[in-house]
Structure 1
Amino acid sequence: MRLPSWLSQHVAALRALLVFTVLLGLAYPLIFVGVAKIPGISSRAGDITLIGQSFTDADGNPVPRYFQSRPSAGGYDPTATGASNLGPEDVVDTPDRQSLLTQVCARSLAVGRLEGVDGSRPYCTADGVGAVLAVFHRDGFAGPITRVVSVNQMAAPFVAKYRGISVEVAQPGEDYVALGGVITPIRGDAPAHPAVPADAVTASGSGLDPQISPEYAALQAPRVARERGISLDRVHELIKENTDGRALGFMGQPAVNVLRLNQALDS
């Protein structure tokens, strides 16, 4: 007997529910439980070095004798794990938050000062905000330029003129995109390969990862050696000892576990 169409649809939905319950509610978790029993993985199941932490003082300033972790959108709080959800096109500051670009610029400048290197980056101003202009054209997106505003700066603009037009400073609360301005990041004269690595200025997806790149660890090594009164060679040895290779030998990049490294320095 052929079932009515509405009933057959409900039966099909019930079958799908049962199938996915078995697959995702039983099989999937059991597979991962089995993977966790594999030698070399099960021994690290309760390893606290799988979760990063910040090495800062009560005011949030870096403690110089420790290697610093990468930024965390959740402040290394396991209950607030996650990313900032800000993308590469997030370049304009708003009254309630900094854009991703300005966050990166400010972090790079701070790391440069801490490590004694050039913290400049492309599309960043000298004072650590996104170098972004709102460019107004007579005919919307084309035609002669009639007005230019430095959207992320409330003081003096980072450039005096843009294509012959004087640059204005932004006014608080003004939405220059809504007014017809074309958002235009300005690269500037920063080096193509900044001294401060990308992982020093961007947060991980989970906000809890304990790893940094070997390049970022090498940048911090002279400071840590100086602050602890030990040789730079010994610090580099510890970095190497606490560097994990590529997963399965070919996936990802080598990474330095900051928490294990700082524990080794303390011991």
Structure 2
Amino acid sequence: MNLLSRMPAWVGHHMAAIRVVIVLTLLVGLAYPLAMTAIARIPGLRSSAQGSQLTAADGNEAGSELIGQSFLDKKGKPIPYYFQTRPSNAGTGYDASASAAGNLGPESTVDVLATRSDGSDGKQSLLTQVCARSTAVADLEHVDGSRPYCTDDGVGAVLGVFRADGTTGRATRVVSLNQACPAKPFRTSYEGVQVECAKPGADYGKAVVTPVRGNAPAHPEVPADAVTASASGLDPQISPAYARLQAPRVARERGMTETAVRKLVDTYTAGRGLGILGEPAVNAVRLNAALDRTHPAKGA
């Protein structure tokens, strides 16, 4: 009778378990990672495996081609010789560790007006965010920034209408909910009632919220992706329409012709996935890096 046959059954079970752990550790913890690392270094796969690193004009790494960047100066203003990316709700903007959407939907139309002097207790609705961004883009690109349900001063065009029978009946009082006093309301009257500016902190809960479309065109000059963030907050792509809108400014700032800028935009425009999925998109991060290499801006 050998030694193993005299050992308790539980010892044999433990020995078998230990052997399984050793084999799986070597296979899954060593062999598999080494095999995947070797495959990732195959030409054509290496860039993707390393995070699609972006190389700047000086040869240094400058982020990833797959993650957007904010091309703003220290004061948070757009740098004029760069194509601007879309807004981002990821942290302070394009923070890969805080990928997130804004979690505001189409019913978000009424602002929380600030009562403190520093505005810290105020909160913009999604509608006002869109309106404000459209106005800012229009000022930068020198185009018409008007869009439906927005006021000329870049807030949501929303009235609070108090009616005689609660939600029905004639209007007895009308307040421009997103225009804090002493701002001049975007409409002087509504249904024959003079429109008031809104007083911060006042309770307008009994008013019927009434967005006003206005006379803006159905297809605004400022594209939708210029005023709305993506679901991840990290997308580096913009629409070809937004790229075309910015092309004259970038050409002027870099001393290029618009034709040359548009050709470069076309180079970094990807078509629909499999020819049918999604929409064509321009990778603004790669486009800006290419511009820095070929036509560096003065003082950049």
TM-score bin (small chain): 0.7 to 0.9
The aligned residue for residue 138 of structure 1 is: 164
Q: Secondary structure at the match of 1:174?
A: coil
Residue 56 (structure 1) aligned to one of 53, 72, 77: 72
| C-alpha separation in 2, matches of 1:102 and 1:40 | 45
Q: Secondary structure at the match of 2:178?
A: coil
| C-alpha separation in 2, matches of 1:39 and 1:207 | 31
Kindly provide the amino acid, as one letter, of the partner of residue 182 in structure 1: V
Q: How far 1:175 sits from its partner (Å)? A: 3.0
Q: CA, structure 1 residues 196+41, in 2 after alignment: closer, same or farther (shift >3 Å)?
A: farther
Q: CA, structure 1 residues 41+113, in 2 after alignment: closer, same or farther (shift >3 Å)?
A: farther
Q: CA, structure 1 residues 92+42, in 2 after alignment: closer, same or farther (shift >3 Å)?
A: farther
1:1-267 alignment, distance < 5 Å: 43-45=47-49, 46-47=51-52, 48-74=64-90, 75-94=93-112, 95=114, 96-154=122-180, 155-177=183-205, 180-267=206-293
The aligned residue for residue 22 of structure 2 is: none
Larger Rg: 2
Q: How far 1:213 sits from its partner (Å)? A: 0.1
| C-alpha separation in 1, matches of 2:201 and 2:278 | 42
Q: Secondary structure at the match of 2:179?
A: coil
| C-alpha separation in 2, matches of 1:249 and 1:43 | 24
CA-based RMSD of the aligned residues comes to 1.9
The superposition leaves residues 116-137 of structure 1 with CA deviations (integer Å, 9 ceiling, x where unpaired) of 1001111000000000000111
The superposition leaves residues 40-99 of structure 1 with CA deviations (integer Å, 9 ceiling, x where unpaired) of 677424111100000000000000000000000121111221011001110000032111
| C-alpha separation in 2, matches of 1:62 and 1:229 | 18
How many aligned residue pairs are there? 232
The aligned residue for residue 17 of structure 2 is: none
| C-alpha separation in 2, matches of 1:104 and 1:173 | 23
- Normalising by structure 1, we get a TM-score of 0.83
5+ residue gaps, structure 1, are 1-32
Q: How far 1:187 sits from its partner (Å)? A: 0.6
5+ residue gaps, structure 2, are 1-35, 53-63, 115-121, 294-300
Kindly provide the amino acid, as one letter, of the partner of residue 125 in structure 1: T
Displaced runs of 4+ in structure 1, greater than 3 A? 36-43
Among all aligned residue pairs of Structure 1 and Structure 2, give the percentage whose two residues are the same amino acid. Answer: 64
- Normalising by structure 2, we get a TM-score of 0.74
| C-alpha separation in 1, matches of 2:263 and 2:276 | 23
Q: How far 1:216 sits from its partner (Å)? A: 0.1
